[in-house]
Structure 1
Amino acid sequence: MKTTATQYPWTEELERTVVHSLATSFGLDFLLFKDKVGGEVDTINNARQGIWASGKEKQRYENREPYDSDKYHDKYVEKKDSIYKKTGENDKISQQKGMLHDAYRDTTMARNDPRDLDHVISAKEIHNDPGRVLAELDGVELANQSSNLQSTHQSINRSMGETSIDDYLAKLPELIENHEKSLAGHQKRLASMPRDTPAQQHEARQLEDKIRKKEEKIKALKSVDSEAMRQRDKEAREPYNQQINQKYYTSSKFWKQTAGASAVAGLNMGTRQMLGLIMAEAWFELREQLPKTLEKLKTNFGLDAFMTSMQQTLQGIWQRIKLRFKDFLTSFKDGAFAGILGSATTTLFNVFATTQKMAIKIIRELWGSLVKAVKLLIFNPQQLPFVDLCKAVTAILSVGAATVAGTMIYTQLLPLCNFPFGSELASFASALVTGLITLGLNYFLLYSRLADKVWAFVDALMPHASSVRKFQAINAELDRYLTELGRIELNLDADELAEFAQQLASCNDELQRGLLLKEEIAKRDIELPYKIGNSASTRKWLASLVK
């Protein structure tokens, strides 16, 4: 069960908690964080799915300038201060020194490798991205920033063209196969070529050179590391999407739409939602970093180490967010909200520090909940489906976390309520901390040294648990097959039989029972050895049984 439980996406429960808090505390329901269809305000996610709230924005996207490859490549490279040119020059020097890393192959490029500088997110994809058009950002500048440029083997870059990395990796095996077929054809042709005259020898040498290049191309394509390539794609998309989100969601265009769509008018609501967006930005960045942190702490997981790591991560995120939203924070009400947020974040970091110190106490006080959760995972008394079982475990731990940590969090966040929008900030901070403690407890349950002892003890008590589960699965599949076989071969329907048995049991006398049986026999076309209602026929049949 432990192995199965580790495969459950525990962070999704935290996601639901935080997004719900953002929607309720700051009135951000209209942002549609869950990519719901529709809405009165254009959002980046909806635009990318072809869903537009504004006909004007839809028309502006449809009438966008056609994609011009030269504009994104050659014309941009000609610019004196182009990042593309500088990156290419720096990578050339690194390659000559034998220090250039090719992230697509997860290897160091050889000094003699033919090198190309690739746009990780293709220039064409960026140009045609509805999110970019909605945010009114320059596609050429976005495509040619350093985070989107990657030196790789020429064969890889040129075989990709304008396709995305996911699409390229999907077609790569077929691409290699086609090149290998072509190579085999060249080799077969070379083997039968005459070399008697200088012209024939020259033609053979040309084909040999073509074969050599084809072999190099195949070797380069086979050296692609799909996981490393996807990771590089992710690293390029994170800053790309952040820039688009920041530009659009802090733009006057977005807030004008919001003002029209919002049920509450005025600056007060707009400011509340703006603060919510800042909190949302913090959450989105934390969400991206959570998997790495959890993976790093998996071995001998400790709740104190986890909370310390979360505190340090959030401090780094907050420094970056202050730079992104500095205009809003400093201009509104003479910087009053910068002070409020400063107090809020200081308080939040203190909460994390206190939680880290209280980790042992929290585990001690939640021991009953942890025991209940372990027993639920092991025995599953209500036979819940796996997803429902994991949700039930999270519910047990979240109630415990809210009970134990709630008082401490409330006490520290209470002073915030004296500020404008302080109660909303306190509510969000409380949800975030409680959610992170719950996530930490989930991982404590699976990966801590103490939990390892529990799981080892359970395995010792139940050495054949996996075999039992296997036979249970086989038994369930056999039941399903036999039910289906009976339905097909014997014209049996379990639901119909159950309904018939219920009707039979509800009959009050023999007459009703006889009529019901007669009706069912006729419906199923059953042949009886006697005639119903004919006593002579019935006696004759009974007598035949005695012989």
Structure 2
Amino acid sequence: MDSAADRFRKRKAALDHNSPVAITTPVVAIEPMVEAALPVRLEERAGQIAVQADALLAELHGRIDEEKISALIDSCQNECLQAVIRPFGVAKILFEDKVGGSVDTVHNVRNEVFATGRAREKYKSNKKYDSHEYHNHDNYKKVNKENSTRLNRGIVKDSYSGGEIIKGKMQLDHVISAHEIHDDAGRILAGLDGSALANVSGNLKPTSQTINGSKKDKSVAAYLKWLDDTKIPTLAQDIARLEEAGNLSAEKAMELIKNKKKLKELQKIDRAQMTAADVAARKYYNGKINKAYYTSGTFIKDTALTSVSSSGRLALHQAIGVLMEEFTRAAFAEMRDVWLHGFKNAMDVSFLEALKERLSHIAARVQAKWRIAMDTAIGGGISGFLSNLITVLINTFTTTKAHVARLLREGALSLGRAFRTLAFPADGTSLAEAADAASKVLAAGLITGGGILLETALEHHVIVFGPLAPYVLSVGIGITTGLCTAFAIYMLDRLDLFGVHGRRRHDQIMAKLDLMISTSYDRALEAAAVFDPPALLPAP
């Protein structure tokens, strides 16, 4: 296609080539034509030209819009195919997502969610609680003796009420009960000695026999709630009942006195002080467990192995996805060709030869995608490794559901693709174009995540399809996700957040106009060459 500069050079060359028209045409021959054209108003002509220009631009814009609609339809097909094959197809074959992830965490085992049979068996084999073992620990005896000595000097206060402790009525309370520590799955997972943890000085508090005896193996939070909901109201009712009865026996009178002492003592408990003691004890206790387990070889090894496994699976998932997509497209292309032109390409070709040829076409197309599959696998491997680490991290604080692992995996893939698009744009790609492409990748990732959540919500409502239910659901959600992704990308093109498509549309229209002008000019030159200028004009 000739550019504007090329057309200018052609015109200049034509004028400089001793053209008789350029040299010998007398001015007097043109004047009658000019005079005849004078009545035509220039404004009308300018308006006609403007209308024609607007119509031409509208036509060009319409052609581009038609091309975009056609591209949208093709995009819908591609996105549906990708959505069915990748996150809702291949992923279910390669990944077996489960509640709590693939690595045991302290938080999860405390909620009876075990990632490994090893941790489950270790918890089940925990020996039965022995109170004697916990209350005869060396540090328990040492702290108890120290507090008894201080009590004799009158300098020991009740750790929970701040009041005086009657001699002979002092007891050491395990802030976190010994029974709770013994049965704690987190402690068992970390492999720490329960008796040693229960009897650290920060977990032993001197208090009265009444408070310690009523607290027993309850946690502080459960104990305070029990006091407010049950113990104190019950004591108050018993006291009121005895006082109303009158003429009490010696036994009942003694019961009334004891109940009043208990009620008074329990009501003196400083809830803030008791809660603060519990918070401090648990902070130390959980710190010891977390440090012991999360720095252990078992945890590090399990995290590394599952991350590598997740990396390999996601790399394979991405590579298979690319190859399966191309295989499906190639297979449909061959089926379309069979429909239009028949299975055999010649009458003397056998069925097996024709089949071999068509399969070779499919294999060639799949093989051509091998490098793309490898590049995609590398990105998938990195995303799989990171998504497993994130899953483990989240499970240290809360237990993830099975679909959360899929969300994290797809999210990591989308973020990874978006980062690569921005950080390593293709040659000749501007920052705005890279940002536009990255925004579409993120939008596709968000829609895929929504599809996973929708699939999770509907999986119990498609049982009417029997054994085909998982496949029906996967295909249905995959197609829906693909259509939504294609529509979202189309809308992002229309919104043109980065001005990329406006510039691209302008360039397309200018290219089409340039082509039209160039074509018209070439035709004009060809038409002018038909005539012989010396025959039309008088000789000089």
Superposition TM-score tier, normalisation by shorter sequence: 0.3 to 0.5
